Structure 1
Amino acid sequence: MITLYQLEGCPYCEAVDEKLTSLNLEYETVWVDGLHSKRDEVKRRSGQRQVPLLVDDEYGVTMAESENIRSYLERTYA
C-alpha cells in the first residue's frame, strides 16, 4: 500500500501525485492541515511535518522531498 500525505494546492504534492498517476499506481491520499502544528500524523510517521510524504509499505520506505519521492517511484515502479 502506498500512502501520500499531501496538502491542497501544494505544487510539490501535485508533482508527486502526477508521478503516481503516470505510473498507474494505486495509492491512498491523506489530506493534511495547512498548519504545521496540526500535522501530528505526518510527524508520527516521519519525524517531521513536511509534505509531501510518501509511505510505501511494500518496501518499508517513508520519505519526504518531492524530487526524492519522484526519483524513488521512477526507479522502483517504472
Structure 2
Amino acid sequence: MEEADMTPGRPQQLPYVSPPDKKMSQEKSGSNIVVEWMSAIKEIAENGYALPSANVHSKDEKFQRIIGMCNAVIMVLKEN
C-alpha cells in the first residue's frame, strides 16, 4: 500500500468501505439491520479511537469505515 502524502493542507483520499452485502441485508428487517450496523459502528469507534494519537492514519481508516456504514444505513432506510 502506498504511503499517503502527509503534507499539511493537502487532503488525502481514504479508501472506500462498501456497505454489507445487499442480498444479505434484504433478508433482514430494517430495524435489525440498523441495530447490527450501529453496533458495528460503535465497536469500530471504540476500538479505533482508543489507539494512540500518533496513529492518525489508522484512525482515519476507522473513521472512513464508520462513514461507509452510516451511508449504507441511510441507503437502506431510504429504500424501505
Which TM-score tier does this pair reach, normalised by the shorter chain? under 0.3
**Is the radius of gyration larger for structure 1 or structure 2?**
2
Structure showing the higher helix proportion among its residues: 2
Q: Tell me which of the two structures has the higher relative contact order, counting C-alpha pairs closer than 8 angstroms and 6 or more residues apart.
A: 2
TM-score scaled by length of structure 2:
0.26
Structure showing the higher strand proportion among its residues: 1
